[in-house]
Amino acid sequence: MKESLSNDDYRKYRWFLTSSGKLVVGGKSDSQNELIIKNFLEERYRVMHTSKPGSGFMILVSEKWARKDLEEMAVFCGCFSKQWKLSVKGKKISVDMFEGSDVFKKKGMKTGTFGVDGKKENFMVVPELVLVKQKGLLRAVPKWKGMTRKDYYLGIGVGRMGKEEAVDVIVEKLMKRRVKVSKDEVLSAIPSDRLGIK
């Protein structure tokens, strides 16, 4: 049976809410990329993908947005990509943005692969995230303008820890702050490898 997706199922995918409350949803795999493009994308939505291969497609699920929504989405896209693993401290990740109407699929294209016609806009982003609670779940999200240290639990950047080690450190630090999270919740919130905890 083919997996289907509705707007209520975004939690099965990569997601976060921008500082203005806009939902960004993206694929964790090639098959999920297919599903989010098929089920979430509208012509006037914005779509992002890293300039180099190896990221999920990210969709801003709204026709109305501010510049800060796009900037936060670009950081999120870059952090959950292969470029995060290849990044070095201080190096930015290149992310491209398209209009939903410019994304197409041709017969013979591999699963999770799409073509783009039309203009694209490029964002160069610093790969850094912060841990917060959104919709009752731990999320790793871009730090937005005006956010202070009191607004988030921990910072995450490119580092040397593997994901399992980072999860243990995060859970321990959050427990000290009396924040209840499971290892699975942390695993689903953070990038896949090479982590540094701030």
Residues forming a β-bridge with 194:
none
Give a yes or no: residue 52 inside a domain: yes
Give a yes or no: residue 1 inside a domain: no
- The whole domain housing 25 covers 7-125
Q: Are residues 98 and 187 in the same domain?
A: no
**96-107: per-residue pLDDT in tens?**
999 999 888 888
- In this predicted model, which residue has the larger pLDDT, 88 or 35? 35
Give a yes or no: residue 55 inside a domain: yes
pTM of structure: 0.91
Q: Are residues 86 and 148 in the same domain?
A: no
**127-175: per-residue pLDDT in tens?**
999 999 999 999 999 999 889 989 999 999 999 999 999 999 999 999 9
Q: Are residues 14 and 88 in the same domain?
A: yes
Give a yes or no: residue 156 inside a domain: yes
Task: Give dist(CA 122, CA 95) in Å, integer.
Answer: 6
**Token pair 């701030």: residue:** 198
Token pair, residue 39, equals: 């089920």
**2-20: per-residue pLDDT in tens?**
233 344 588 889 999 999 9
Nearest to 101 by CA among 63, 54, 51, 74: 63
Domain end among 90, 108, 125: 125
Average pLDDT over the chain, rounded to an integer: 90
Name the strand (E) or helix (H) holding 32: helix 30-40
